[in-house]
Amino acid sequence: MSSYLQLSGVNKTFGNFTALGHIDLEIEKGEFVTFLGPSGSGKTTTLMVIAGFEDATRGEITVDGQSLSHLAPQERNIGIVFQNYALFPHKTAAENVYFPLQMRKVGKKAGLKKAEEMLELVGLSGFAHRLPKELSGGQQQRVALARALVFEPDLLLLDEPLGALDKNLREQMQIEIKRIQKRLGVTTIFVTHDQTEAMSMSDRIVVFSDGAIEQADAPLEIYHRPATRFVADFIGESNLLPATITDAGTRRATSPVLGDVTFGAEGCPQVSDGQTVDLLIRPEHLKLSRDPKEGRQNAQMQIETIVNYGDNAVVIGHASDQQIRVRVPGADVVILKEGDTCHFSWTEDAVFVLTE
């Protein structure tokens, strides 16, 4: 039993430059998958290869068992929402949405009716006869979404569609896109470099770096059990501290910063005595106190900067030349001063070992 969308060994080179190394990925029908990564990591290239605008140098893509290799972009039945929306400026909202139906030989009357129903679904009834330039960014976004969905595509691809919107509108559109996607049940790939967007919307996140997939997992899995240093660093805030395994059996390691540490058992990769690893502790899993805390593992640091966000704050300090970030509740900040020396503490479950 194979997956709905399947990428096997997809490779893309431009001259000497390898844009995609060797991409293997399976996506289930109806899944909402986010491609996350810094710019140039290969996420958009992968999307363009799926859409047919770039040919894969090697490898194959199948949808529902059918190979896409020999299909031109217009034959693939894939809806795409582009970063700048790419609405046709000379057509009204309804005509834009009608366009894919027109190309599929749907009559004007029936087609425009369906286009207006689709505009209604995305919350734009009453705007059908406006030109794109007469619509706000958020409204243009909705038209682009309606246009990409009206012909019931096998796949919906969204290429950083929320990049141009301001923060409030962005959150609103995240919820909206998710709602429409669920309602229509269309298999969706969403490309972004914004990790909060990826976290809040996806069934699964695929993290890209340097033309390769670092990890493909559910959002919380990615956050709590990153497979590589890159993922740990890229997703959320992290303290990555070099350490050496002293006793793999009792899960003990020693780190110049933390001293002797016991690390968590869950999700821990295979390690051996003497191996050098990185220990990951998320800032929100550290606690600050004047004196060492009973029942927790402790170390000392000097506070350097306090960044206040109101409801919480990030305290940045130094412990033997290593920067330590601690996220504390906003109310606790008042007792802390820059320049103070204090203890930070953690439990073994908060310590996660990274070998790659």
Partner 1 sequence: MNTFIRWIGIAVVAFIAAPLLIVVPMSFSTAASLQFPPPGWGWQYYQAYFSDPSWLRPTWNSVFIAAMNTLLTMALVVPATFALVRHKFWGKSAANLMMMMPMAVPHIVMAIGYYSYFGELKLVHSKLGVILAHTCLSVPITFLVLSANLKGFDRTLERAARSLGATPRQVFLHITLPILRPGLLISALFAFIQSFDETVVAIFISGRNAETLPRKMFDSIREEADPVIAVISTLLFAIVFAGLIAPSVIKLIRRMTAKTAQQR
Q: Which residues bind partner 1 (CB under 8 A)?
A: 51-53, 72-74, 76-80, 82, 84, 86, 88-90, 99-100, 102-104, 147-148, 151
> In this complex, which beta carbon is closest to partner 1, that of residue 102 or of residue 262?
102
Q: Which helix (H) or strand (E) holds 102?
A: helix 93-103
> In this complex, which beta carbon is closest to partner 1, that of residue 33 or of residue 149?
149
* Minimum separation from the CB atom of position 21 to partner 1 (A): 25
Residue appearing with tokens 């140039």: 40
* Minimum separation from the CB atom of position 26 to partner 1 (A): 23
> In this complex, which beta carbon is closest to partner 1, that of residue 32 or of residue 85?
85
8 A C-beta contact, residue 121 and residue 70:
no
* Minimum separation from the CB atom of position 354 to partner 1 (A): 39
* Minimum separation from the CB atom of position 162 to partner 1 (A): 16
The widest CA-to-CA distance across the chain, in whole angstroms, is: 76
Q: How far is it, in rounded angstroms, from Cα 280 to Cα 251?
A: 14
> In this complex, which beta carbon is closest to partner 1, that of residue 78 or of residue 245?
78
Q: What angle do CA 265, 271, 272 make, to 5 degrees?
A: 125
Residue appearing with tokens 């990591």: 41
**Beta bridge mates, 262:** 252
User: What's at 79, amino acid-wise?
Assistant: G
Q: What angle do CA 49, 53, 57 make, to 5 degrees?
A: 50
> In this complex, which beta carbon is closest to partner 1, that of residue 132 or of residue 211?
132
According to DSSP, the β-strands at 276-281 and 259-262 are: unpaired
* Minimum separation from the CB atom of position 165 to partner 1 (A): 17
